[in-house]
Amino acid sequence: MQFNHVFIPYGFYWSTPFTRWQGNFAQQHPMLFAADVTKRFLRERDITPQAFDALFLGMTVPAEHSFYGAPWLAGLIDAPALSGPTVNQACATSARVIGDCSYEVETDKERCILAVTCDRTSNGPHLYYPNPLGPGGTGTAEDWVMDNFNLDPYASNAMIETAENVAREAHITMEEQNEVTLLRYQQYQEALEDDAAFHRRYMITPIEVKDSSGRKVVATVTDDEGIYASTSAGLSKLRPVKEGGTVSFGTQTHPADGNSGMIITSRERAQ
């Protein structure tokens, strides 16, 4: 579908820094964290939460009380009258949220939607599914993040195997993947020039990380964390993760923690 009436006001999108999993955001509740950042963004832009008709939440990894989804987040940002769907579509969650918002605006140009996505891959939940008919009434367990990284239930393989299948079908070599990784790393370095001027256009920073009591600041995050330097020589020395494969640890994207959002509306309301 082509969207002809969907717009994002310039500058009205935001993101936290993203930290490699088990980093400084590993203990932050993703929904509470997203609410704090969203409120800060709206306050800094002098936008009232009542300006929106709906809130769409994207969240792939469940957390405590995330059962209540978007309405809970709406309450946390002082907009309890807002509601909307909670979207979970694995690695495509954020793209699906933007698509769903856009469909609504395309069919109703009066809509102004707040889209927020948040996740914490660190310390993912360990789930237990009861099964009274199991041996001795025992159920089954699932480590939400690790088990699903390692097994797509439809394809019956791990994510890394999917990457290798795509590389094989499209004839993408390890050397070509290294070239893309180097290009992206160089572009990232350019974004850090002039005191990270590019990042400052959208990134909410600095962020103070507090302990479980919410009183003591244990860290201050000013930019993405966990980005390792990439060089042609370094990448060429790495072996593929899978024997006979093409994907190395140097060309994979690491899981991370953080949140982001944007405003999606019509041209008139965007202006």
Which top CATH class is 13-122+256-270? Answer: alpha beta
- The predicted-structure confidence for 175-201, as pLDDT tens digits, reads as follows 999 999 999 999 999 999 999 999 999
What does the domain layout of the chain look like in residue ranges? 13-122+256-270
The model's confidence at residue 242, banded by pLDDT at 50, 70 and 90, is very high
Q: Is the pLDDT of residue 1 over 90?
A: no
The residue-averaged pLDDT of 88-100 equals 97
Please give the pLDDT value at position 69.
97
What's this model's pTM, rounded to 2 decimal places? Answer: 0.94
Reference 124, options 142, 150, 140, 143; nearest CA is 143
54-58/112-120 β-pairing? parallel
Please give the sequence-ordered ranges of beta strands (E in DSSP) within the chain, or none if there are none: 13-15, 19-20, 54-58, 86-87, 112-120, 126-129, 140-143, 207-210, 217-221, 256-265
